[in-house]
Structure 1
Amino acid sequence: MGTLYFVELLDQHPWFKVAAIAASAGSAGKTYEEAVQGRWKLSSPIPEGVRNIVIQDASKVNEVADQVDFTLCAVDMKKNEVQALEEAYAQTGTPVVSNNSAHRWTPDIPMVIPEINPGHIEVIAAQRKRLGTSTGFIVVKPNCSIQSYVPALHALLDFKPTKVVASTYQAISGAGKNFTDWPEMLDNVIPYIGGEEEKSEQEPLRIWGSIINNEIVKATAPLITTQCIRVPVTDGHLATVFASFENTPSKEEILDRWRQFKGRPQQLSLPSAPKQFITYFEEENRPQTKLDRDIERGMGVSVGRLREDTIYDFKFVGLSHNTLRGAAGGAVLIAELLKAEGYIQSK
């Protein structure tokens, strides 16, 4: 579903427009409307500006790259195939912003949440040398589940979190599904999502890592353990979080950090950036997935139920929109950051 959301988000975007759409050879030659027939799962109609764009063969890298200033990549392929395809586009001098997981652990490819680790894009210089290009590169977006709790923890890093327990309750759109094509999720909870817990435990450490010898080296703390559960909601990943700190803050200090937190996208007033990145709800029954996932056009993070814990120092609930902040919207925001910082330019 990544391409669907990219198309929707880029419709009327103030900086970017869709110049070309590429997919597998089986879709090449069809119009976009023909290619997504029966698979357009969004409530809004297909944007007029892309309906009649003819799909190109993504494997014809030079032909596609010649038509665009950068690419947003969301493909359903094997890991090694995704890696090769993205590197091929980068080697044409074309920046790649990827929604795929294939390059999340490539040492010189930054995995970015723009408000949290924008400085990691500095490793692009080393990556360009490896790929043999002066203008191309790859930047990736992290897993959608970590957006629900990592921003709230990041705002508290000065207090040195040491141990974190996070359980995520994840929407079916995270699996590219809706209730029509996944009816067994109605009135059901599945306590397992393949590979998700390892991602949720390890990717935050890479986000909080440092550039050492032209590679991103993951942080060693905090220790994170997770459980990831599929629940019967359309969109929105909710997390329950327990955390202990080396320097335990007060509740008031935590709330103040959340209210005051701003990142590079807010400083630059990027088009997709939420004005208030972290919103705290005082009500005991918030945030709620259905009510609050669309806060700040789906690009904000909601937090609530902060209280002291009997085993850990504090516990709270976090919520983010998995297909917007956690997927396509997050990738578009990365592209905006890269453009604002001079990494994406017109060819």
Structure 2
Amino acid sequence: MDKLRVALLGATGMVGQRFVKLLENHEMFELSVLAASPSSAGKKYQDAAHWCIEGEVPEKFREMTVVKADLENVKKEDNVDFVFSALPSDVARIVEAEFAKAGIPVISDASAYRMEEDVPILIPEVNPDHLELVKKQSNRGWRSFIVTNPNCTSNVLILALKPLQENFGIKRVIVSTMQSLSGAGWFGVTSMAIIDNILPYIKNEEEKVEREAVKIVGEFDGSKIIPAEFKISASCHRVNVLEGHTEAVFVELKSKADPKQVIEAMKNFRGRPQELNLPTAPENPIIVRMEADRPQPRLDRYAGNGMSVVVGRIRSDTVLDNGIKFVLVGHNTIRGAAGNAVLNAELAVREGYL
């Protein structure tokens, strides 16, 4: 098939740079428009982007001129089939709706529309059926739709929880996160604040995790999402790690399971992207490590090209009834952001939404 032409809104930020790398040689999508803030518009991409991820700015995009991230300027540049959005939430709230209203689908990493009743928060291995919810957005007068990513912390957590929910049921979850610096962006945390330190508070992060989880794992009844009934408590911390979120997870299951059963459930877990052999889908969404000292962000964040969640230290918990506890690592700007959005778009194409 011919490649779909795509614009990227918020192309110069850290997540935007991940999109650029992932789309450099994508077999389904041609990145034809790079859009960003007014201060970046008019500049060559290599000059506008403060490149801060591994490798170089892809050659094919270096000389591309950045345009302002709005409907008018993107349409002037190219007649794109859809857009990816890595915009800040306050900007996304306005701009993404303009595109959807004009008939241009939006695959978004922004939080602006996540908790809207008619907008899916999609993890393709977890809730691909929620994609059907976009049909409800026509009631807004939109000619197209918005699909959102979860928060990066929610994303990797829920992917690990999905086989437990499927096989044993979940009553409650307690999670303590150790989140990397890249989650705050290049200018997000000053060096003097994080060196020799851990920051015990990330604004709005715990609330996002607790709200999003029950929506994502909820049941779609054909017209709305019925939130999952389990309870979740999150405590989120910023640590001096460049990339890769680490989470200590404690789960009370509905039915009893020993660590060996949990390990097998996680190892055997596959989702719709694996069935469809989507280009960005990892062969194993969850990789289980048996070593006592794994996973570690430095060693495990690029598992599955950054799209797999690595789980280890799976053991029984004696405080919770039917308790299981484990540690996970996931790449926050690949699986937790740009990679998940690209996978969402691939799924939407194969399921006939794009």
Bucket of the pairwise TM-score, normalised by the shorter protein: over 0.9
Q: Does 1:262 align with 2:274?
A: no
Could you tell which deviates more after superposition, 295-304 or 57-66? 57-66
Q: Does 1:289 align with 2:302?
A: no
- Percent of aligned positions that are identical: 40
Aligned with 2:353: secondary structure? coil
Note the 1:24-103 alignment, pairs <5 A: 24-36=37-49, 39-61=50-72, 63-64=74-75, 66-76=78-88, 78=90, 81-103=91-113
CA gap of 1:26–1:77, structure 2 versus 1, over 3 A, is farther
8 Å CA contact 2:172, 2:252 repeated in 1 = yes
Note the 1:173-252 alignment, pairs <5 A: 173-177=182-186, 182-212=191-221, 214-219=223-228, 221-252=229-260
TM-score normalised by the chain length of structure 2? 0.91
Query: Matched residue pairs, number?
Result: 337
Aligned with 1:155: secondary structure? helix
* Partner of residue 316, structure 2: 308
Aligned with 2:60: secondary structure? helix
Q: Out of 16, 21, 24, which is 2:34 matched to? A: 21
Q: Out of 322, 336, 353, which is 1:343 matched to? A: 353
Aligned with 1:71: secondary structure? strand
Q: Unaligned regions of 5+ residues in structure 1, if any?
A: none
Deviation at 1:82, TM superposition (A): 1.8
Deviation at 1:341, TM superposition (A): 1.1
8 Å CA contact 1:304, 1:318 repeated in 2 = yes
TM-score normalised by the chain length of structure 1? 0.92
Q: Name the amino acid aligned to 1:276.
A: N
8 Å CA contact 1:172, 1:178 repeated in 2 = no
Q: Out of 317, 333, 344, which is 2:343 matched to? A: 333
Spell out structure 1 runs of 4+ moving beyond 4 A.
178-181
Aligned with 2:197: secondary structure? coil
Deviation at 1:177, TM superposition (A): 2.7
Aligned with 1:18: secondary structure? strand
CA gap of 1:60–1:263, structure 2 versus 1, over 3 A, is closer
Residues 97-135 of structure 1: CA distance to partner in whole angstroms, max 9, x if unpaired? Answer: 0010000011111100110000000011111342341xx
Q: Name the amino acid aligned to 1:329.
A: G
Residues 129-166 of structure 1: CA distance to partner in whole angstroms, max 9, x if unpaired? Answer: 42341xx2100000101233222211011312111110
Deviation at 1:187, TM superposition (A): 2.3
Aligned with 2:183: secondary structure? helix
8 Å CA contact 1:266, 1:274 repeated in 2 = yes
8 Å CA contact 1:179, 1:186 repeated in 2 = no
Residues 302-328 of structure 1: CA distance to partner in whole angstroms, max 9, x if unpaired? Answer: 111111112021111111000100011
Q: CA RMSD in A?
A: 1.8
* Partner of residue 7, structure 2: none
CA gap of 1:317–1:126, structure 2 versus 1, over 3 A, is same
Deviation at 1:27, TM superposition (A): 2.1
Q: Unaligned regions of 5+ residues in structure 2, if any?
A: 1-13
